[in-house]
Each structure stands twice: as structure tokens, then as C-alpha cells.
Amino acid sequence: MPNTPPPMPASKPRGKQRRNVLIAAAVAVALLIGGGIYWLTRPSYDDIVKGCQKALAAQMKADGKGKPDACSEVKKDDYDLLVISAAIDGMSKTDKDTLDYFDNGTIDGSLD
């Protein structure tokens, strides 16, 4: 019997293989669904920027300083523009321009 090949390892029954494939497929589908739900429920970058804009406006009214927590995920360039925009929006609209003057068209010292 020296010419007989070694015995083959016992293969898994077909039922166990099918069960393992079904479990792996179910786990993959569950991960895909969970990942999709997580991705869809996260706020978009535009929503984050709008939240930062509101936080900056509220901070300007309260005379607060520093970067609000709502702005932590905003890019630096966008944050700088939001700060400038909030500063301009916070400026008084009723103050008289310092370059305003009255000139009646004659040279009589009417410039104020």
C-alpha cells in the first residue's frame, strides 16, 4: 500500500458552508445599512457653516471673544470670511459717515 495517496481532509458539509455565507452576507448588509444611515444623518458642510454663522452672530451680540465651538469643523478660510461678515453685519447702520459734508456750491466756508 505504499502507492496510496494520503487521505483527504474531511470537507465541511454543504449546510455549514451555506450558513457561513449567509451570516457573512447578513453582516455585510447590516454594516452597509448602518454606514449609510450614519452618513445620511451627519450634517452637511453647508449646515455646519450656517451653524457657525449663527454662533458668531450671537457671540457678537454678547460681546464674546474667541472661536465658538460650532465653528470647529469650518475650514480656516471660510471661518475668516464668516468673522469678517459677522463684523460688518454687526456695524451700526445709523451712524453718520465721517466723510459726509454739506457744500452749497460757493466758497463761503459751507463745508462742515
- List average pLDDT for each run of 10 residues in the chain, which is 112 residues long: 71 77 94 92 90 89 83 91 86 63 60 52
pLDDT number for residue 108: 62
Q: How many domains does the chain have?
A: 1
Buried-state track 44-68, b at ≥16 Cβ within 10 A, e below 16: eeeebbebbbebbeebeeeeeeeeb
pLDDT number for residue 63: 80
pLDDT number for residue 7: 75
Give the mean pLDDT of the chain: 81
Range of the domain at 43: 15-89
pLDDT number for residue 28: 95
pLDDT number for residue 101: 57
Alpha helices, DSSP H, located in the chain: 14-41, 45-61, 76-89
Q: Is residue 67 part of a domain?
A: yes
pLDDT number for residue 96: 60
Q: Is residue 50 part of a domain?
A: yes
Q: Is residue 10 part of a domain?
A: no
Q: Is residue 65 part of a domain?
A: yes
